[in-house]
Structure 1
Amino acid sequence: MPRKIIPYNTSLKQFARKLRNDSTLGEVLLWNELKDKQMYGYDFHRQKPLLNYIVDLYCYELDLVIEIDGQYHSYEEISNADVLRDEELAAYDLVVLRFTEREVRKDMVNVLRTIENHILEHGAKGKK
């Protein structure tokens, strides 16, 4: 499957590297479940620059972004900045799944089930 080219701000590369080294516990826990193509053979990347943003996790094969909202987010509502970001990513046909840091830490089974359901509904045909 050819990769869709999504532009990104190259000045974010170094900051993305720093974020990978300073990940939250939730990011580390979820990354450990998704890395090395453990989820149906799909390749996920963490702290990936896309457009003018750095997304927590990204799978180009699924056009999927996963965000783990932590201490800077309200657990009950998405900020206006998040809405704008999601709209800009959606313009490139990307889907954003959002989880809270608490969900990832305390309810990993359901987080993984949500990701799995997305893959089963939208994943590439024949990929298992």
Structure 2
Amino acid sequence: MDPVSNARRLRRSQTLAESKLWAIVRGRRLNGFKFRRQVPVDRYFADFLCREASLIVELDGASHEERVVHDALRTVVLERCGFRVLRFDNELVLTDPGGVADAICATLRLKA
């Protein structure tokens, strides 16, 4: 499957946490920074990417507890591509979306 079709499929099948975070970051709602969803970067798809700030936000669900090594490698690859990577558990996005937004904003301010 080509990257564009795969990204489109991932956007259509987003998790509840992804949907909640998308509602927070879409439309330049965080300090005017533009975020995109499910963007191909190297061999991965970044959950949320802000090119202007060279920032990727990754959400980790329960399945990620068993994929610590894989996620660490993924982070290394994304950082080598020039991005800073923030990771949040899905549960945190669902229970404290304001705190997650504040953490992202703090990182965005470092780039401003």
Shorter chain as denominator, the TM-score bin is: over 0.9
Q: 1:81 deviation in Å?
A: 1.1
Q: SS of the counterpart of 1:58?
A: strand
Deviation per CA, 1:30-61: give whole Å up to 9, x if none: 10011000111100000111110011100000
The separation in 1 between residues aligned to 2:36 and 2:94, in whole angstroms, is: 20
Identity %: 33
The separation in 1 between residues aligned to 2:70 and 2:3, in whole angstroms, is: 18
Q: 1:93 deviation in Å?
A: 2.0
The normalised TM-score by structure 2 is 0.93
Could you say which residue in structure 2 is the equivalent of 1:63? Answer: 54
Residues 59-98 of structure 1: pairs in structure 2 closer than 5 A: 59-74=50-65, 79-98=68-87
Could you say which residue in structure 2 is the equivalent of 1:123? Answer: 111
Q: Highest CA radius of gyration, 1 or 2?
A: 1
Extract unaligned runs of 5+ from structure 2. Answer: none
The separation in 2 between residues aligned to 1:78 and 1:111, in whole angstroms, is: 22
Q: Alignment partner for residue 3 of structure 2, among 12, 24, 27?
A: 12
RMSD of aligned Cα (Å): 1.5
Deviation per CA, 1:53-95: give whole Å up to 9, x if none: 0111000001000001013211xx8611111111111112211
Matched, 1:33 2:24: yes
Matched, 1:48 2:36: no
The separation in 2 between residues aligned to 1:11 and 1:17, in whole angstroms, is: 10
Q: Which amino acid aligns with 2:103?
A: T
How many residue pairs get matched?
112
The separation in 1 between residues aligned to 2:92 and 2:63, in whole angstroms, is: 15
* Worse overlay, 89-98 or 21-30: 89-98
Could you say which residue in structure 1 is the equivalent of 2:88? Answer: 99
